[in-house]
Amino acid sequence: MNFREKLSTGRILAGTFVKTSSADIIEILALSGLDFICLDAEHSAFSRRELDWSLALARALGLSAFVRLSHGSADTILQALDGGAAGIVVPHVDSLATARQVARRSRFGPGGRGYSGTTRYGGFSTRGMAEILREEEKNIFVIAQIEDPSALDNIEEIAATPGIDALFYGAADMAVGLGLDIAGTPEVEAAFSRVAAAAHAAGKPLAAHCGAPVGLAGLKEKGVSLAFVGSDQGLVLTGARAIAAAASD
């Protein structure tokens, strides 16, 4: 079952960010029952080669793997999708022009993603061009991260952009952009509601992050379909703190 098929079940899908370049981490998470992982190339030190083998391993294990890009340039989008990512998360999509550009760069054709059948996405020349082009929309999922106050002025247009498949509300960056030093404020929650309303009106799934599983209930109440919960680093830290706390009792 590919990612779009999972999403069509209507239940909330849960995954986590992966910030550590480790085959063992991906193998362990593939055994966990998570719906997806997201390799965080924006806020961690993944090289292109590390992203490539990470995507290969996740694909071999049947685990949907997204890549959060450092930016929405043509080359970073091409590399992630050619590598076999289930989709991409593009930061700082704050205008209709940017949304259209990201959507275009994620698809084959003029002004868009360059075509090659020799990539992992193309089955290393085992899939025909007609099949690859025909199944493009089934196999690519583009998430626009909404995390700038300026994006709120254009949120309905961004949400309605063909080729933008979901919106990801970035509460932390939104708070910083609003001049705040904490995300749980009325201003940040009001922005969340605006993004949620725009996604709903456009018939697009809503994604968001919470730091721990306890936050999932709140995300469900806000209409989130894709929950990015914590990270591999957070899971290790939480487990280690639990051991330390138990030892000190």
Angle at 196 between CA 72 and CA 231, to 5 degrees: 60
Sort strands 13-18 and 64-68 into parallel, antiparallel or unpaired.
Answer: unpaired
> Cα(63)–Cα(89) distance, rounded to whole angstroms?
17
Four-residue CA torsion sign, 210, 1, 159, 92: positive
Q: How far is CA 214 from CA 57, 122, 140, 211, 227, in A?
A: 29, 39, 30, 8, 12
Residues with a catalytic annotation lie at 43
Residue 130, both tokens = 């007609």
| Helix/strand/coil (H/E/C) assignment for every residue in 179-220 | CCCCCCCHHHHHHHHHHHHHHHHHCCCEEEEECCHHHHHHHH
